[in-house]
Structure 1
Amino acid sequence: MRKILIVGAGQAGLQLALGLQDRGYEVTLMTNRTSDEIRAGRVMSTQCMFHTALRHERDLGINFWEDQAPRIEGLGLSLAAPDGTRPIDWVGRLDAYAQSVDQRVKMAGWMETFAECGGRIVIHGAAVSDLDYFSRAYDLVLVAAGKGELVSMFSRDASRSPYDTPQRALAVAYVHGLAPRPEHPDFHAVRFNIVPGAGELFVMPTLTTSGPADILFWESIPGGPLDVFAGVKDPAEHLRVTLDLMRRHLPWEYDRAGKVELTDAGGTLSGRYAPVVRNPIGELPSGGVVLGVADVVVANDPITGQGSNNASKCAASYLASIVEHGDQPFDRAWMQSAFDRYWDSAQHVTKWTNALLGPPPEHVLNLIGAAGQLSSVARRFVNGFDDPADFEEYFFEPDKTAAYLAAAAQG
């Protein structure tokens, strides 16, 4: 039986651990928190998972909260004008619903499932020296912890990382009491609100520790008028600032927030990081190698909501690469090939996400404007959140955009 160590208990690490366990591998999971500590801790993300990523969970039989989480059937876009109006405002329907489950709920539940099925969990904040020791006892070591000392083992790939500073400041609040969007009160949708030159607000239905809720997520251009959360530590103050920005910049969202309250004392999060692609193979002092997983090696800005989707897809891709490799050694060449297989899809996410971090060019403004007039354009755009490779066909190049819109207008 092949022995595998996974360091990190997020979406990718736990999904991969459960998948390998199901296929008979001897898996050890190393993480710095217990399931109880995760469940009682602070929110970790703004996850919204689309059909392909959800299917990976269903394939493993670990979609435990699917009947409880709100079904997100659409994605809407609003563009704010200085006078508080919306020159662009539309919603497109997803071909298959998306869902968001608070990672405190999911990761704690998956850890407990892994342990109940015989998996070994080591509660320990791993350092590079630990991995140097453990690499001799395992056939393969995978690093799925995207923060801390371990990330330093994976060098930045400058050719795939156009930014070296954060492009957005992030501020998240999980709330109860948000009223439905009056434009579509009969179905849930993620709302993407753009404040030109300043940033974005995402409003996302979710399932949290206390039941169905919504996420209010500001992405602010550093130094701009929305970048005001630095130094805000008190959760109540965080919510007050969140709502004040909505009142001043997005009154249509503020209008439905009159009764909101935080879901819990751990329901806020803020920070910033530079999006980066790293080389996938980490070097250990002894000469051994480890393989980076998900946002250890591909960390995009969350503006496109792809973090948990990338993590799920990476876990599924690595699972297939490991199983297909059989009893052969997990050497450097195999690690590179496993990453390259994942990068085949991840590269489209990175290209699209990085494009959205800059001011939208004229052809992109034409595209999102046309989506308000043509339901087929809106539908194709929002379904690209599940399959970002489709944006290659019509999003990046003005000529392709123009040809697509002309064809769409003809029906």
Structure 2
Amino acid sequence: MRKILIVGAGQSGLQIALGLQSQGYEVTLMSNRTADEIRSGRVMSTQCMFHTALQHERELGLNFWESQAPNIEGVGVSVAGPDSSRVIDWVGKLDGYAQSVDQRVKMAGWMETFAQRGGQLVIHGAAVSDLDYFSRTYDLVLVSAGKGELVSMFERDASRSPYDAPQRALAVAYVHGLGPRPEHPEFDAVRCNLVPGVGELFVMPTLTTSGRADILFWEGVPGGPLDVFQGVKDPGEHLALTLELLEKFLPWEYARATKVELTDAGGTLAGRYAPTVRKPVGRLPGGGLVLGVADVVVANDPITGQGSNSASKCAASYLSSIVSHGDGVFDEAWMQGAFDRYWATAQHVTKWTNAMLGQPPEHVLNLLGAAGDLQPVADRFANGFNDPSDFENYFYEAELAEGYVAGVAAA
């Protein structure tokens, strides 16, 4: 029986742990918090998981909340004009629904399941010195904790990381009481509101510890008018700021948010980080090697909503690489190969995300505008959130974009 240590109990670490456990591996999972501490703590993220990522969970029988979470059937895009009116506004339909489950609910539930199924759960923060010791007693060590000292073991890949500073200041509020969208209220959708030069607001339905809720998620250009949440510790003040900015920049979203209240005292989050791709193999002082997982090695800005999707896809890819390796040695060549297989998918996410962080070129604005008149264009853009590789076919180059829109218009 092969022994595997996973450090970090997020989407990817837990998905791999539960997947390996079901295949008969002896798995140890290290978390710096108990399931109860996670469940009663602060929100950790926004997350909207699209069809492919959800399918990875279904294949492992981990879709415990699928019947309770809202089915997100569309992705809407609005662009604010200089006078705070909407100059672009449309909703694309998804081929398969998306869902959002508060990670406090999911990670706590999965962690308890792992322990109930006989997994070795260690509640302890891990330092590099701990891993130095553990690497000698396990066949493979996976590092899935995307923050803190352990990340420093993985060298930044400058060729794949165009940014060395945060590109957005992030501010999240989980709320009850948001009114329905005025357009297509008959189905749930994620709303992407773009305020050129200022930032973005995402609104998504979710399942949280107290049932159905909505997430209000500001992404502000650093130093701009949305970059005001640093140092705000009081949840009530955080929500008040969120609404004040809504009223100023996105009055159509503010109109349905006048009665909202926070889901709980832990329902806010603010921060920033530089989008970074790192080398996948970490070297320990004693000579041992560890493999980086998900956002340890590929951390994109959340502007394209890919974090939990990428984590799920990374877990599925690594799980396949581990199981298919059988009794082989998990050496540096295998680790690099496992990452390269994941990068074949992840590279499209990174390219698209970095493109969306910049000032959109004219052909992209034209494409978003055309989606308001041509439903197939809106639908295709929406489904790109599930499979970002499709953007290669029509999004990045003006000639491809113009040809695609002209073809749809003529059809």
- 2:252 is matched with 252
What per-residue deviation string (whole Å, max 9, x for no partner) do you get for residues 300-350 of structure 1? 000000000000000000000000000000000000000000000000000
Name the CA distance, whole Å, in 2 between partners of 1:109 and 1:370. Answer: 43
Task: Give deviations 1:212-259, integer Å, cap 9, x for gaps.
Answer: 000000000000111111111100000000000000000000000111
Q: Which residue of 1 aligns with 2:216?
A: 216
Unaligned segments of structure 1, at least 5 residues: none
Give the Cα–Cα distance (whole angstroms) in 2 for the partners of residues 97 and 243 of structure 1: 29
Q: Which residue of 2 aligns with 1:325?
A: 325
Number of equivalences: 411
Q: Deviation at 1:179?
A: 0.5
The corresponding residue for 1:408 is 408
What is the CA–CA distance in structure 2 between the aligned matches of 1:64 and 1:225, rounded to whole Å?
Answer: 40
Separation of aligned partners in 1, 2:293 and 2:230: 30
Q: Does 1:5 align with 2:13?
A: no
Q: Aligned to 2:166, what secondary structure does the other structure show?
A: coil
Q: CA deviation at 1:410?
A: 1.1
1:182 aligned residue:
182
User: How much does 1:390 deviate?
Assistant: 0.2
> 1 CA distance for matches of 2:224 and 2:55?
39
2:141 pairs with 1:136: no
Determine the structure 1 residue equivalent to 2:341: 341
User: Structure 2 CA distance, aligned partners of 1:401 and 1:102?
Assistant: 36
Instruction: State the shift of 1:59 in Å.
Output: 0.2
Letter in 2 for 1:197: G
Distance (whole Å) between structure 2 residues aligned to residue 122 and residue 200 of structure 1? 39
Q: Scaled by the length of structure 1, what TM-score is found?
A: 1.00
Deviation of 1:182 after TM superposition, in Å, equals 1.1
SS of the residue aligned with 1:282? strand
Partner in structure 1 of residue 123 of structure 2: 123
Partner of 2:315: helix, strand, or coil?
helix
1:63 alignment counterpart:
63
- The corresponding residue for 1:32 is 32
What is the TM-score of this pair, normalised by structure 2?
A: 1.00
Aligned residue in 1 for 2:192: 192
Deviation at 1:364, TM superposition (A): 0.2
Q: SS at the partner of 1:242? A: helix
Distance 1:108 1:402 in 2: 47
Q: Deviations over 1:134-167 (max 9, x none)?
A: 0000000000000000000000000000000000
Q: Secondary structure at the match of 1:244?
A: helix
Following superposition, the deviation at residue 366 of structure 1 comes to: 0.6
1:106 aligns with 2:116: no
Distance 1:226 1:40 in 2: 28
In the other structure, the counterpart of 1:378 is 378
Structure 1 match to 2:356? 356
Q: Distance in 2 between matches of 1:81 and 1:350?
A: 28
Structure 1 CA distance for aligned equivalents of residues 166 and 234 of structure 2: 23
**Secondary structure in structure 2 of the residue aligned to 1:204:** strand
Instruction: Provide the rounded CA distance (Å) in 2 between the counterparts of 1:31 and 1:111.
Output: 9
Say which SS state the counterpart of residue 264 (structure 2) adopts: coil
Q: Which runs of 5+ in 2 are unaligned?
A: none
Looking at structure 2, the residues matched to 347 and 5 of structure 1 have their Cα atoms a distance apart, in angstroms, of: 27
Distance 1:120 1:243 in 2: 44
Deviation at 1:82, TM superposition (A): 2.1
Q: Distance in 1 between matches of 2:186 and 2:177?
A: 16
Quick one: distance in 1 between partners of 2:128 and 2:230? 31
CA distance in 2, matches of 1:267, 1:82: 31
> Deviations 1:181-203 (Å, cap 9, x if unpaired)?
01011110000000110000000
Q: Measure, in 2, the Cα distance between the counterparts of 1:291 and 1:102.
A: 27
Letter of the aligned partner of 2:265 in structure 1?
Answer: A
How does 1:384-399 map onto structure 2 within 5 Å?
Answer: 384-399=384-399
**Which 4+ runs in 1 deviate beyond 6 A?**
none
- Offset at 1:106? 0.1
- CA shift, 1:84, in A, is 2.0
Question: Hey, what's the Cα distance between the residues in 1 that align with 2:397 and 2:284?
Answer: 42
In structure 2, give the amino acid aligned to 1:395.
Answer: F
Distance 1:274 1:335 in 2: 25
